[in-house]
Amino acid sequence: MGKIAPETALEVVRELVDRVITTADEAELVELVLGTVIHALDADRGLVLLTDRAGATTTIDARGKRGRLSAHEQAEISRSVVHEVWRTGSALLLEPDVGEGSKSVQALGIACALAAPLRVIGKREARGVLYLDFRDVHVEIGEPDRQLVELVADVLALVLSQRRELSSVNEDLEAALGREPVPPPTLDELLAPRSIAPLRADIETAIVSDLPLLLLGESGTGKTLFARAVAGASRRVPVVRAMLGSADDLNTITSELFGHEKGSFSGAVTARTGLVTFADKGTLVLDEILNLPPHAQQLLLDFTQFGTYRPLGWARPEPRRAQVRIVAATNGDIAAAVAAGTFREDLYFRLSGLTVTLPALRTRRDEIPELAEGFLKRLDPDRGWTLTVDARRRLLATDLAWSGNLRELELTTRRARDRAVAADRDATQIDVVHLSGVRTSAAPSAGASPDDIAGAWRGLAAERTRLDERETELIKKALDKHRGVLARVAAELGVARSSLQSRLQTLGVKGIKD
C-alpha cells in the first residue's frame, strides 16, 4: 500500500524532468522539486538539507502545504531520520507506531517520516537529505512512495552536482579569458544615477510597504533588476518570475500561476504546483502584464483582492492561500490599454499601489559614459577600465538610438572591452575604435502619415501574420531537430513547456511528442 501508484510515480518523475530541463535558477529548481513531491505525496512538511562531513545540516529549502516553513516549523522534524539517512546513504521509511525510541518523534506530531539521501556521484556517501513527514495518524506510506522519494532525491542530487560542476568550469573559463561572471547591480547602484533621483522616494517606500509595485518602462530599462533588488532589500524572498505572455489558453495560465490537480483537464496526468505557491512569503514578479488575456486578468484580480486561489480541479470547499508581494512590469502603455478596454481598470488599480516608471536611456544621455564605466567595474573590477574622451563623446552622440536601453549599453560595453583586450591583453582603456554596432536613429519613412490609423492597423495585421508564419517555421525546425520531443524544444527556446504547448495549439502546429 502507499499514497501513490507505481504508474503515477512515473508521471511525477516525468513532470519533474520537464521542470528541471526548463528551470535555470538553482534555488527555483529546488523549490520546484520539493513542492512537486510534497504535492504528489500530500506530505505535511518537506526539507532539502545539505550535510557536512561532521553531520551538521544546513537547510536549503523548507516547505509545507501552505508554503515556506517558519524556523520553528523547520525544527519540528525527525533529526534522527535525517542523520540515519546521511550516515547510511540509504532511503528510510519511519513509522513510529511502537517502541520507546519513537516517543520523541510522536511528541512532535509526526505520524510517519520518509527521507532519501542526495548522493555524491560515484561515491557511497550522501551530501544531503530530502526529507518528508506526515502528521495524519491514518496515513499509509508504502514501498512505491519510498522508491519515488529515493528517485527524486537522485535526480535532484545529479542535477545540482552537474550544474555546480558546469558553473565551476564556466568560472574557470571566464578566468582564463580574464572575465568573471558579472554580478547584478545592487539597489544602491541602481539608485545612484541622477536621473533616478526622482524615483528614490518611491523605491524606498516600496521596500517597507506591502503594496503591489508596478514597474513601467521600455524593454531593457532594468525593470527586472529593480524588482529583484527591491525584493532582496525588503527580504521578501524567494523571488519567482512568471512569464505568461506566450500563453493564451486559460488552463495553461491557471496551471502556471495556481497549479492543477491530476485529471483536471486533458493532459493533466499529474498534479502541478503553481508559481504562486512557490512564491509564498516572497515576491511574485509578473512580467509583461499587458499580455494577459481578459479571462486570466479576472483570475489575477481575485487573487490580488483576497490572497486566495483554486488550482484547476480543486474540489475542496476552502480555497488555498498564499501571501505574496506582487511586482508587475510592462513595457507597454498600460493607461492606453485601460482606456481601450483591453486591460481591466480594477486590476490596474490593484497592481498599481506604487508605480515607478523607469526612464529610457536616450532621455539620460549625459549619464551613459558613467553607466558604461559602472558596468565595466562590475565586469572586470581588478583592471580599472576607463573611457577615452573620444569614446565618451561617441556614447553621448545624439544619433545613437539606444532602443535596447541598458541591455544594449551593457552589450556594447562588453563587446568594446573584448575588442580592447583582443588588441592589447593589458588594455585598460576603451577607445572610440572599440565602439561599434550601436544602432543609429532611423529617419521616418517618406510619405508616412501619422493620421492614417486604418492603414497602420492593416500594416500591423500583416506584420502579425508574418510573425506567426516565422514563429511557426522556427518551431517546426526545433521540433524536427528534437524529433518532436516538446520538453527539449521548450528548453532550447527558453519557454515553459505548458506555454509552448498552448502556443502550438494556437498556431495549429502538429508533430508533438509529449
Question: How does pLDDT run across 356-378, given as a tens digit for each residue?
Answer: 999 999 999 999 999 999 999 98
CB 493 within 8 A of CB 500: yes
CB 320 within 8 A of CB 308: yes
Domains 6-172 and 361-434 in one fold: no
What is the predicted pLDDT for the residue at 513? 60
Nine-digit cell string for 155: 535526480
Quick check: bond before 319 cis, omega within 30?
A: no
**Domain range annotation of the chain:** 6-172, 187-357, 361-434, 456-507
CB 253 within 8 A of CB 299: yes
DSSP-assigned letters across all residues of 372-438: HHHHHHHHSTTT--EE-HHHHHHHH-TTB--TTHHHHHHHHHHHHHHHHHHH-TT--EE-GGG---P
CB 357 within 8 A of CB 216: yes
CB 256 within 8 A of CB 298: no
Q: Does domain 6-172 have CATH number 3.30.450.40?
A: yes
Query: What is the rounded CA–CA span in Å between residue 149 and residue 175?
Result: 38
User: What single letter denotes the amino acid at residue 272?
Assistant: R
Q: Does domain 187-357 have CATH number 3.40.50.300?
A: yes
Q: Which residues of the chain are modeled with pLDDT < 50? A: 1, 98-101, 165-180, 442-451
What is the predicted pLDDT for the residue at 140? 83
Question: Which residues 6+ apart lie within 8 Å of 513 measured at CB?
Answer: 483, 484, 485, 486
CB 219 within 8 A of CB 405: yes
Torsion-angle region of 343 (φ positive above 0: left; ψ -120 to 50: alpha; else: beta): beta
Q: Does domain 361-434 have CATH number 1.10.8.60?
A: yes
Percent of the chain whose pLDDT exceeds 90: 24
What is the predicted pLDDT for the residue at 392? 93
The DSSP bridge partners found for residue 309 are: 320
What is the predicted pLDDT for the residue at 36? 82
If DSSP states are collapsed to H, E and C, what string results for 203-222?
HHHHHHCCCCEEEECCCCCC
